A and B are shown apart, each in its own frame.
Chain A
Amino acid sequence: MKSKSNTQQINDDFAPVSGGRGQADSYRRDDVDDLASVKADSQLDRHIVRLLALHKKLRVRFKNQDLSQFSDDAKRVLLADMNDLLGIKS
């Protein structure tokens, strides 16, 4: 087992420069709603829109939700329900 100081050293020495090749279409999911030109007015909206796009079972359960009609508090309740359904702890 590594000591804490060794682990810290490995973590600190990690100075990556990677990527820049772009995502090939073949690696893109085809079961995701199009996010290429969707607008979101806040970080909270963006997070909810992404969850809805990425998870079919959320779209089935929450398909008629219109975020523009929700207060921020109501959106947070909606998000908590979504997290429960997906098993996400935050």
Chain B
Amino acid sequence: MFELPFSVSLTRGDTGRPEAAKIVELDRTLAKTQIDGRWWKIESGRTARSEEQDHHWQWVKVLGEQRTNLAYQAIAVQTPDQEVQGAATYFVDSKSRLEEGEGTINLDRIATAPRNRPWLCEPPRFKGVGYCLLLAVVRHSYLLGLGGRVWLTSVPDQKTHDFYLARGFEVIFEDEDGILDFEISASGACAWLAEEGYPI
């Protein structure tokens, strides 16, 4: 079963060395103390901060709206100093748009902490946060019998798109602003999980 917390490994941005972390359940207390009250206390300029898509997100409010919904899950990457390095929220009751008639997870939000974004903080404190979160969501989808399928909406950023495509995601929709929806099929997800050493 998908049991939290579990261990993952990040890479330190300054030394390139591995750093142990955990995927944990993101509750409102953690969101309040380690995201809403912490993430945007960085030295980057106000303009740069305000241009970030998630600058206005209030994670406590987001979690509060879904707190009784078992179709909703929130997870975070937490380092031993208790800091949250990234977070994701998702719905487990979504329709696959790639494989008709199948269920999938809809990754509602995913964000690395601003301190881990190289375009805001150089060097970023940790690398690999987004990878750990996305892999955890794909793994959860597999353990729920959804084949590992996950779909998400991505802003028009070439590096991010390249990552999704390299991991086996496929474009399922593009809007007039170039914002893309991606989904990973069951075969793509299982190939990724097998590559990571999970039993498939």
Contacts and interface: CB of A to CB of B under 8 A. Distances in A.
Interface of A: 10-23, 27-29, 32, 35-40, 43-44, 46-47, 49-51, 53-55, 79, 86-90
Nearest to B56: A20
Nearest to A20: B109
Given A43-B3, A54-B93, 12 more contacts: A10-B166, A11-B128, A12-B127, A13-B127, A14-B131, A14-B160, A16-B112, A18-B111, A29-B95, A43-B1, A49-B70, A86-B145
B76 interface: no
A55 B145 contact: yes
User: What 9 A-B pairs have minimum CB-CB distances, sorted nearest first?
Assistant: A12-B127, A35-B70, A19-B109, A35-B71, A89-B199, A86-B145, A14-B163, A47-B1, A16-B130
Contacts of A35: 69-71, 92-93
Nearest to B89: A19
Interface residues of B, number: 54
Contacts of B54: 17, 20
B145 A10 contact: no
A29 B143 CA distance: 18
A27 B112 contact: no
A90 B1 CA distance: 7
Contacts of A55: 145
A17 B1 contact: no
Nearest to A76: B1
B153 A18 contact: yes
7 contacts: A14-B131, A17-B112, A20-B54, A27-B95, A43-B4, A55-B145, A88-B142
Contacts of B143: 47, 88, 90
Contacts of B124: 15
Given A35-B70, A38-B70, A89-B200, A15 B129 contact: yes
B152 A18 contact: yes
The SS class assigned to the B binding surface is mixed
A21 B1 CA distance: 29
A74 to B, nearest CB: 15
Contacts of B107: 18-19
Given A17-B117, A88-B143, A90-B1, A50 B130 contact: no
A49 B1 CA distance: 12
A28 B97 CA distance: 11
Interface string B1-42: 111100000010000000000000000000000000000000
